[in-house]
Amino acid sequence: MIRKKVCLLGAFGVGKTSLVRRFVSGIFSDKYLSTMGVKIDRKTVDADGREVGLMIWDIHGEEAFRKIPMSYLRGASGLMMVVDGTRPETLDVAAGIVRRVDDELGLAAPRVWLANKRDLADDWALPADAWAKLAGDAPRFETSALSGEHVDEAFLALARAMLA
Amino acid sequence: MPGQAEGAGGVGDREGRDAARSSDIETLRELIVGPTARRVEQIERRLEQPARVEDTARVLPDIIRESLREDADAAEEAARPLVEGAIRRSARKSPEALSDALFPVLGPAIRKSITHAIASMMQSLNQTLEHSFSARGLKWRFDAWRTGRPFAEVVLLNTLVYRVEQAFLIHRESGLLLRHVAMDESLGEDADVVSGMLTAVRDFARDAFDAEGSDEIESLRMGELELWVARGPNVLLALACRGKAPEALFARMQETVERIERRFGEELAAFEGDTAAFAGADDWLRALLESQRAGDEGGSPAKAVAAVAAVALALAAWMGYGWYWRGQWKDYVARVSAMPGVVVARASSGAPFELWGLRDPLADDPAGLLGRFGLDGKDVKLHWRPWQSLEPAFALRRARRLLQPPAGVEVTMRDGVLRLSGAARPDWIRRARMLAPALAGVRAVDDSALKAVDVRAELLARIRKRLTPPKGVELALAGPEGRYVLTARGEARSAWKAAAEAAVKAFPEVASYDDSRLIAVDEPARLLRLARKALRPPAGARLRVSRDLVLHVSGVASPAWKRKARERAAAVPYLAGYDDAGLHPPRHIPGDAEILAAAREMLKPPATVHLGVSQGVLTAQGFATAGWIRDARTRWRDIPGAKGWRDEALRDITPAWRALSRRVGARLVRYDIDSGQPKAGGERMLREVAEAVKQARRMRPDAVVRAVGLSQSRAERQKPRALAHARDACHRLEGLGVPAAACQPGFAPQSGSRRVSGVRFALLASGQAP
């Protein structure tokens, strides 16, 4: 079996942990997130007939006074960038994280982009242009951790991208 | 061909021919072998020239790579002597360069190795100690002797209770699990998540504690379970151990890591998530899974250790205890030796604590200091012989004790001279002069500053101080010493007199006390005497002064005397009160004249009333107010001797007065502000007022009219004008027959909306408020 390290990145409160909880059933309690800043779960996906074991590093959301420790990103084969579709400012935070990843780690791992909280249709405020520009050629998904909409697809897309 | 050419021509020709032929041959040769020869030549040149080094350099990596791929062991074996030789040579030639290069690697490695070696040693030492005293320990000693192994190793093998349950081989960079082996296969389910988390924890710890370079977590302990981590450049090897694993295990882990790094270097470098490539490491990992059991649990060696430790501890405590008390005793002896008036001759160095020496009875008792050093009088024996210290301090102390200087005498000592100063009784001075020179340590006595006191004056001063006589009391002391007579004379309160009499008894020197000439100013008898003199009571009056110094006057006396007596008594000193409740006027039947006088005095009839008396019956006629008439009808009974009251001829003036008063009060004389004269009609009004006033004055001669000038407001500046109007009104009334004295000008501010400038009037009886 192929194993891949995947990191979930994004601003604080965009719903990364909820996405992971939707996708896997983990063994570690969420308290590691607040203490150590990371929680790790595993999920095996079937990508076109190949089994891929995803080690999902759910990294504490970036805040003004709590930067993501770049050491957690070392060896990652894929990045899942998450923004909050109801809070356009989280796009800037995500852009900042990507910049740091490129500058400090030079990590050329495949990425997928998730705009989460699609279920809050009334509050949806995702600026389409900025969103498209931010993601570039990477696959983008509008997901809902609440309904599970597009969550599996996003992880599968990342698995495929990593195998390519 | 050369033969052909020679046979064809002469010498000249031959030469020409030869030349031509050779040129042909050259050409031919050139045609046939030229390129080859040039190539050979080129190769020769290249072989001779250093340029070939470049060529070799170009192919050398390929050669090495190829040979390693084909047969790595052979290639390594071939390169080994070269590498070894080069390193050896380098080490010989410039050891600094080599050590500099290796230092970053060797430094931490050596440090770590030493740490582990020490830890191992401590562990085995602990165990050796634990097991040296048990029966099992003896058996292991025998085993060690039998098998020729060191005892420590035998102990180690027999006692460690631990189990390596799982081994994780982890890709260091990504934290991905490469291989996992476990004693219990069911443990492997979450191994990959655990390995990821372990990597995260290491990263977290490194970031959190800002660890330098190669410092990383080497072990984590969770109660029974301990996680050991060894690392190589690409992999981490983690062992989950239950119990206490020997340090030597760490060395084996490190070896395994190195072996894996060597064997799978290529796969690790190209790792893309495929863990199957590392299956070959499973056997090595499994070799690390081991368990070690201790022999059956016998008597706890801890007991033996505890016993030995207890004995050692008790010994140490006992020694420490003795050492401590010897120290305390030594400090005590040193302290006593320093005490003045004490000489320590000998002292024991340890228990039993005894001390021999000399002690001046005046010196402080050294036994009193025992407590301060934690020593008990029961454990210590002090043997003292008395002596007299000639130290000045002691001589002085002795002198003071013997001479008992009274207050006021100071005893000092300097250079062996005892100095007495101050004032003392002559008998004390006599005694001191006799005794002082005989004192040990006293060379001479200086009493030039000692004065004899006047015993009588001193005694009198003391008595004065004690008695505190008030002003006016004189104390005197007379008679020979021992038979003094104290005399008090003058004036004092009896309380002081009694207190003084009692206080004098506290002075045994006073043989008798005479206060016969001390007057107790507040004695009742004396006060009575004084009161009699001052009051001069008539025959019927009696005086008495009670114990509480109140003057009681009783009996019969005229009211006039009674009044005077009251005033006079106030002038008698020390009287606390005056009581004349028991004094009555004399029983007397007054005559008509007396009755009339008393009636006039008591009833105060107005001038319009005429009083008369006949046979004790009073008659009143004339004009009076209703109030006066009412009063008189009851009050005449208080007049001594009056027998009746008749007032038929007395006219009540009140209704008439009221009518007049109303009439006067209804008049308002308006004034012109500019001219200050009454306005039209004013004269008539004034005439009416004058008429009413004159009529009223016939009834009551004291009747007056008050002219009230009305001011426009309360303002002060309005006052003079209003007053001027009132005065003018009075003046005009005078012209109309009202005496000037019967008109009182005044003014009043107006209130309300209708304000006028003018004068109002009010009829009053004199003394009556307006």
Q: Does the beta-carbon distance from A5 to B207 stay under 8 Å? A: no
Per-10-residue mean pLDDT of chain B, 770 residues long, equals: 45 65 80 82 75 71 81 79 81 73 67 68 61 68 76 62 85 88 76 83 77 69 80 89 80 88 87 87 86 48 64 78 83 86 84 86 84 80 86 85 86 86 85 84 85 83 88 86 86 88 87 88 87 85 88 87 88 87 78 85 85 88 86 86 87 85 87 84 89 87 87 75 89 89 85 77 66
Residue B158 tokens read as 């027999």
Nearest chain B residue to A50 by CA distance is: B274
Q: Does the beta-carbon distance from A71 to B203 stay under 8 Å? A: yes
Contacts of A55 in chain B (CB under 8 A): 174-176, 192-193, 196
How many Cβ atoms are within 10 Å of A106's Cβ, its own excluded?
Answer: 7
Q: Does the beta-carbon distance from A27 to B193 stay under 8 Å? A: yes
Contacts of A73 in chain B (CB under 8 A): none
Q: Does the beta-carbon distance from B204 to A38 stay under 8 Å? A: yes
**C-alpha count within 13 angstroms, C-beta hemisphere, residue B182:** 13
**Whether B646 contacts B636, CB under 8 Å:** no
Q: Does the beta-carbon distance from A38 to B207 stay under 8 Å? A: no
Domain range enclosing A156: 2-163
In chain B, the N- to C-terminal Cα span, in Å, equals 191
- DSSP, collapsed to helix, strand or coil, labels residue B376 as coil
Chain B residues interacting with chain A (CB cutoff of 8 angstroms) = 171-177, 190, 192-193, 196-197, 200-201, 203-204, 206-207, 272-276
Outline where DSSP puts E strands in chain A.
2-10, 38-47, 50-59, 78-84, 111-116, 140-142
pTM: 0.37
Taking residues A50-63, report their average pLDDT: 87
Residue B639 carries which side chain, given as an amino acid letter? I
Tell me if chain B has a CB within 8 Å of the CB of A164: no
Name the band, by pLDDT with cuts 50, 70 and 90, for residue A109.
confident
Query: If we measure between CA atoms, which residue out of B296, B277, B262, B252 comes closest to residue B164?
Result: B252
Q: Please tell me the predicted confidence (pLDDT) of residue A131.
A: 92
Name the band, by pLDDT with cuts 50, 70 and 90, for residue A111.
very high
Mutate which of A3, A51, A59 to disrupt the B interface (most B C-beta within 10 Å)? A3
**Whether B294 contacts B159, CB under 8 Å:** yes
- DSSP, collapsed to helix, strand or coil, labels residue B353 as strand
ipTM: 0.82
Max Cα distance, chain A (Å): 43
* A113-146 tens-digit pLDDT: 999 999 998 899 999 899 999 888 899 999 998 8
Contacts of B177 in chain A (CB under 8 A): 3
Compute the distance between CA of residue B439 and CA of residue B419 in angstroms, rounded to an integer. 13
| Number of domains chain A contains | 1
Q: Please tell me the predicted confidence (pLDDT) of residue B296.
A: 38
* CATH code for the domain in which residue A154 is found: 3.40.50.300
Compute the distance between CA of residue B261 and CA of residue B267 in angstroms, rounded to an integer. 9
**Whether B249 contacts B228, CB under 8 Å:** yes
Q: Which of B174, B197, B203 sits opposite A69 (nearest CB)?
A: B203
DSSP 8-class letter at B671: B
